[in-house]
Amino acid sequence: MRGYGDTLTPMYVMAGSVVINIVLDPILIFGFQNNPLFGLLGARGIETWLFGLTGYAGSGIAGAAIATVFSRALAFGVGLVVMFRGNRGVKIRLRKMVPSLSFARKVVDIGVPASVEGTARSLSINLLLVVIAAFPESVVAAYGIGTRIFSVIFLPALAVSQGVETMTGQNIGAGKLDRAAETNNFGARAMLVGLTLLGALVLIAPEPIAAIFTDDPAVVAQSATFLRYSALSFGFIGVMRAYTGGFRGAGKTMVAAVISLVSLGLVRLPIAWLGAAALGTIGLWIAFPISNLAGGIVAYLWFKRGTWREQDLTESNAGADVAGAETSMDD
């Protein structure tokens, strides 16, 4: 649906899933007898008349897993209902759900590199823990806090990346390659300015931001140092995300994956490893701005080459109808 241009419906479905997860988590983790949520609301005993589950003591981590699986499964069901009804622009028709090996091969060719890109990001975070494990616990904790702050800061970059991806695909399909290029360039400029400004705010007050997550002075100090080194490079992450979104929209998912691998695997990890050995924690932290800068520059230069203009996703007859889905605003 995002590819079709409807980003609101997936957002609503996922937002509903998140809200349900938030409601279920404290209940399934802590149960009812000692639930901090009920205590906070002044509603101790509400379970007696509302649930009749006074004796349920919660399932801990397993409860969190159950809440997540249930909320995601519910979102999956709602998504299917929306697409089978077809009143949001895309409709699944069972009579056209005919298997097509050629179409499946095209989907796999496009999708596998995108999976590699996501896997590379996750692996880079976890492989860095091997390097960081040699440092005191305050450094390990600072790394965890820093990555959480990054995840919040980069939410706009993820949103712009998805928007650029959709608009690039639509413009290429319409034969408007120059407009597709301007979409990418505008997204990159907006992210460079916007995230750099956010980074400047982080640079001004790194200690108070880190103190939101911990009251340990050593951890706050290390987190603040981490943020000081990385903050002004946030904009280049936005540049990389904007252009990799454009590559994905053009069907060049392998290029997007390679750019991520270069930034995270060939730049960040080796610099962190060698820098940590030579300079200690400073060498570890400088790996982040360097890799962010490298990722943004590589993405920009690769996009300027224009090879994305050569992609043709309409070579075969295996279109949306063969896959079982049609776009229909009138149904």
Return d(Cα 121, Cα 299) in angstroms, integer.
16
Residue 325 three-state SS: strand
Averaged pLDDT for residues 35-57:
53
Q: Evaluate whether 96 touches 324 at the Cβ level (below 8 Å).
A: yes
Q: What is the pLDDT of residues 283-316, one digit of tens each?
A: 999 999 999 999 999 999 999 998 888 866 555 4
Relative to beta strand 325-328, strand 89-92 is: antiparallel
Residues 6+ apart with CB under 8 A from 242: 157, 160, 161, 164, 184, 187, 188, 190, 191, 299
pLDDT at residue 257 greater than cutoff 50: yes
| CA–CA separation, 225 and 218 (whole Å) | 11
Confidence of residue 325 (pLDDT cuts 50, 70, 90): very low
State the pLDDT at residue 47.
47
Mean pLDDT of the residues in the chain: 84
More confident residue, 183 or 317: 183
Is residue 86 within 8 Å of residue 92, measured between CB atoms? Answer: yes
CA distance 180 to 252: 14
Return d(Cα 80, Cα 90) in angstroms, integer. Answer: 11
Worst-scoring range by mean pLDDT, 29-33, 236-240, 267-271? 29-33
Count the residues in the chain: 331
d(CA 199, CA 231): 4
Asked if residue 230 lies in contact with residue 285, where contact means CB atoms within 8 angstroms, the answer is yes
DSSP per position, 144-201: HHHHHHHHHHTHHHHHHHHHHHHHHHHHHHTT-HHHHHHHHHHHHHHHHHHHHHHHHH
